[in-house]
Amino acid sequence: MDARDSKDRDIRLRLLLEFIKVFFYLSVPVIAVLLISLPSFSQWVRDYERLAWYNDTGV
């Protein structure tokens, strides 16, 4: 009975490690894309704020 519990625990640990590995592999490209697109997004926000300011002032 003890050997079976140990085997179940090993399987659960292996599945957990596999899940963490898959999550890490999937999150790395997402983080990379976000970091690459961050400067263009901040530029878009600045342009939007400038456009909103022009519209508010009527210039």
pLDDT at 15: 95
pLDDT at 12: 92
Q: Is the whole model's pTM more than 0.85, yes or no? A: no
pLDDT at 3: 66
Residue the block writes with tokens 């690459």? 36
Phi first, then psi, for residue 24 (nearest 5°) are -65, -45
Q: pLDDT in tens for each of the 59 residues of the chain?
A: 566 778 888 999 999 999 999 999 999 999 888 888 887 888 888 888 888 877 776 65
Per-residue tokens: 55:
């519209």
pLDDT at 2: 65
Query: Long-range CB contacts (< 8 A, 24+ apart) of 5-12?
Result: none
